[in-house]
Amino acid sequence: MTSQVSSPAEHADEADDTGRSPRAVGERRASLSGDEGREGAGEKQVRRLDRVIIRFAGDSGDGMQLTGDRFTSETASFGNDLSTLPNFPAEIRAPAGTLPGVSSFQLHFADHDILTPGDAPNVLVAMNPAALKANIGDVPRGAEIIVNTDEFTKRPMAKVGYLTSPLEDGSLDGYQVHPVPLTTLTIEALKEFGLSRKEAERSKNMFALGLLSWMYHRPTEGTERFLRTKFAKKPQIAEANVAAFRAGWNFGETTEDFAVSYEVAPADSAFPAGTYRNISGNLALSYGLIAASHQAELPLYLGSYPITPASDILHELSRHKNFGVRTFQAEDEIAAIGAALGASFGGSLGVTTTSGPGVALKSETIGLAVSLELPLLVVAIQRGGPSTGLPTKTEQADLLQAMYGRNGEAPVPVIAPRTPADCFDAALEAARIALTYRTPVFLLSDGYLANGSEPWRIPETEELPDLRVRFATGPNHELADGTEVFWPYKRDPQTLARPWAVPGTPGLEHRIGGIEKQDGTGNISYDPANHDFMVRTRQAKIDGIKVPDLTVDDPDGARTLVLGWGSTYGPITAAVRRLRRGGTPIAQAHLRHVNPFPRNLGEILGRYDKVVVPEMNLGQLATLLRARYLVDAHSYNQVNGMPFKAEQLATALKEATDV
Partner 1 sequence: MSDANELLTLVPKAAAKQSMKDFKSDQEVRWCPGCGDYAVLAAVQGFMPELGLAKENIVFVSGIGCSSRFPYYMNTYGMHSIHGRAPAIATGLATSRRDLSVWVVTGDGDALSIGGNHLIHALRRNVNLKILLFNNRIYGLTKGQYSPTSELGKITKSTPMGSLDAPFNPVSLAIGAEASFVARTVDSDRKHLTEVLRQAADHPGTALVEIYQNCNIFNDGAFDVLKDKQQAEEAVIRLEHGQPIRFGAEGSKGVVRDPATGDLQVVPVTPENESRILVHDAHAASPTTAFALSRLADPDTLHHTPIGVLRSVERPVYDTLMSDQLDRAVEQQGKGDLSKVLAGGDTWTVVG
Of residues 382 through 441, those in contact with partner 1 by CB under 8 A are none
CA 534 to the chain's CA centroid: 37
Q: What is the DSSP letter of 122?
A: S
To the nearest whole angstrom, how small is the minimum distance from the Cβ of residue 507 to partner 1?
7
297 near partner 1, judged by CB under 8 A: no
To the nearest whole angstrom, how small is the minimum distance from the Cβ of residue 261 to partner 1?
22
Residue of 228, 320, 531, 626 interacting with partner 1 (CB under 8 A): 320
Residue of 56, 105, 109, 287 interacting with partner 1 (CB under 8 A): 287
Tell me the site size for partner 1, rule CB under 8 A. 73
Residue 169 CB contacts under 8 Å (≥ 6 apart), including other chains = none
Q: What is the DSSP letter of 271?
A: S
Q: Which is nearer to partner 1, 37 or 506 (CB)?
A: 506
Binding positions for partner 1, 205-234, rule CB under 8 A:
222
Residue of 504, 528, 557, 583 interacting with partner 1 (CB under 8 A): 504
Q: Which is nearer to partner 1, 348 or 568 (CB)?
A: 348
Q: Which is nearer to partner 1, 346 or 641 (CB)?
A: 346
77 near partner 1, judged by CB under 8 A: yes
Q: Which stretch binds partner 1 (CB under 8 A): 209-217, 446-454, 500-508, 558-566?
A: 500-508
Q: Which is nearer to partner 1, 143 or 307 (CB)?
A: 307
Within 10 angstroms of residue 510's Cβ, the number of other Cβ atoms is: 17
Q: How far apart are CA 593 and CA 425, in angstroms?
A: 12
290 near partner 1, judged by CB under 8 A: yes
Q: Which stretch binds partner 1 (CB under 8 A): 28-36, 238-246, 297-305, 465-473?
A: 297-305
CA 556 to the chain's CA centroid: 31
Q: How far apart are CA 519 and CA 632, in angstroms?
A: 39
343 near partner 1, judged by CB under 8 A: yes
Query: Which of 627, 655, 378, 430 lies closest to 545 in space, CA to CA?
Result: 430
Buried b (16+ CB within 10 A) or exposed e, 180-198: bbbbebbbebbeeeebeee
To the nearest whole angstrom, how small is the minimum distance from the Cβ of residue 81 to partner 1?
11
CA angle 604, 609, 610 (to 5 degrees): 85
Binding positions for partner 1, 583-612, rule CB under 8 A:
none
Q: What is the DSSP letter of 302?
A: E
Residue of 27, 509, 532, 556 interacting with partner 1 (CB under 8 A): 509
Please measure the distance between the N-terminal and C-terminal CA atoms of the chain and give it in whole angstroms: 31
Residue of 42, 179, 324, 475 interacting with partner 1 (CB under 8 A): 324
Residue of 84, 278, 382, 445 interacting with partner 1 (CB under 8 A): 278
389: enclosing H helix or E strand: none
To the nearest whole angstrom, how small is the minimum distance from the Cβ of residue 218 to partner 1?
13
Q: How far apart are CA 103 and CA 105, in angstroms?
A: 7
To the nearest whole angstrom, how small is the minimum distance from the Cβ of residue 280 to partner 1?
12
Binding positions for partner 1, 438-477, rule CB under 8 A:
458-461
Residue of 127, 211, 330, 624 interacting with partner 1 (CB under 8 A): 330
Q: Which is nearer to partner 1, 470 or 511 (CB)?
A: 511
51, 108 contact by CB (below 8 A) = yes
Q: Which is nearer to partner 1, 88 or 301 (CB)?
A: 301
524 near partner 1, judged by CB under 8 A: yes
Residue of 142, 235, 507, 555 interacting with partner 1 (CB under 8 A): 507
Strand order in the sheet with 24-31: 24-31, 43-49, 260-264
Q: What is the DSSP letter of 317?
A: H
DSSP letter string over 611-637?
EEEEESSSSHHHHHHHHHH---PEEEE
Which residues is 603 bridged to in the sheet?
none
Binding positions for partner 1, 56-75, rule CB under 8 A:
73
340, 352 contact by CB (below 8 A) = yes
Position 649: which residue type? L
Binding positions for partner 1, 154-183, rule CB under 8 A:
none
Q: Which is nearer to partner 1, 409 or 549 (CB)?
A: 409
346 near partner 1, judged by CB under 8 A: yes
| CA 444 to each of CA 143, 355, 454, 594: distance values in angstroms, whole numbers, following the listed order | 36, 9, 19, 10
Let me know how long the chain is. Answer: 659
510 near partner 1, judged by CB under 8 A: yes
Residue of 19, 179, 306, 342 interacting with partner 1 (CB under 8 A): 342
Q: Which stretch binds partner 1 (CB under 8 A): 254-262, 346-354, 614-622, 641-649?
A: 346-354
DSSP letter string over 70-123?
HHHHHHHHHT-EEEEEEE--SSSSPSTT-GGGEEEEEEEEESS---SS-SS-SE
CA angle 477, 479, 483 (to 5 degrees): 90
508 near partner 1, judged by CB under 8 A: yes
Q: Which stretch binds partner 1 (CB under 8 A): 107-115, 148-156, 277-285, 649-657?
A: 277-285
Binding positions for partner 1, 357-376, rule CB under 8 A:
364-365, 367-368, 372
CA 588 to the chain's CA centroid: 21
To the nearest whole angstrom, how small is the minimum distance from the Cβ of residue 331 to partner 1?
4
Phi, psi at 400, each rounded to 5°? -70, -30
Within 10 angstroms of residue 176's Cβ, the number of other Cβ atoms is: 14
Residue of 217, 294, 315, 654 interacting with partner 1 (CB under 8 A): 294
Within 10 angstroms of residue 587's Cβ, the number of other Cβ atoms is: 22
Binding positions for partner 1, 255-274, rule CB under 8 A:
268, 271-274
To the nearest whole angstrom, how small is the minimum distance from the Cβ of residue 560 to partner 1?
35
9 near partner 1, judged by CB under 8 A: no
Phi, psi at 544, each rounded to 5°? -90, 5
301 near partner 1, judged by CB under 8 A: yes
Q: Which is nearer to partner 1, 57 or 366 (CB)?
A: 366
Q: Which is nearer to partner 1, 191 or 321 (CB)?
A: 321
Q: Which is nearer to partner 1, 323 or 533 (CB)?
A: 323
Buried b (16+ CB within 10 A) or exposed e, 524-557: ebeeeeeeeebeeebeebbeebebeebebbbeee
Binding positions for partner 1, 78-97, rule CB under 8 A:
78-79
Long-range pairs, 150-155, Cβ under 8 A, ≥24: 150/181, 150/182, 150/183, 150/184, 151/97, 151/127, 151/183, 152/128
Query: Which of 281, 308, 265 lies closest to 569 in space, CA to CA?
Result: 281
| CA 548 to each of CA 370, 579, 594: distance values in angstroms, whole numbers, following the listed order | 23, 28, 12
To the nearest whole angstrom, how small is the minimum distance from the Cβ of residue 51 to partner 1?
18
8 near partner 1, judged by CB under 8 A: no
Residue of 277, 559, 634, 654 interacting with partner 1 (CB under 8 A): 277
322 near partner 1, judged by CB under 8 A: yes
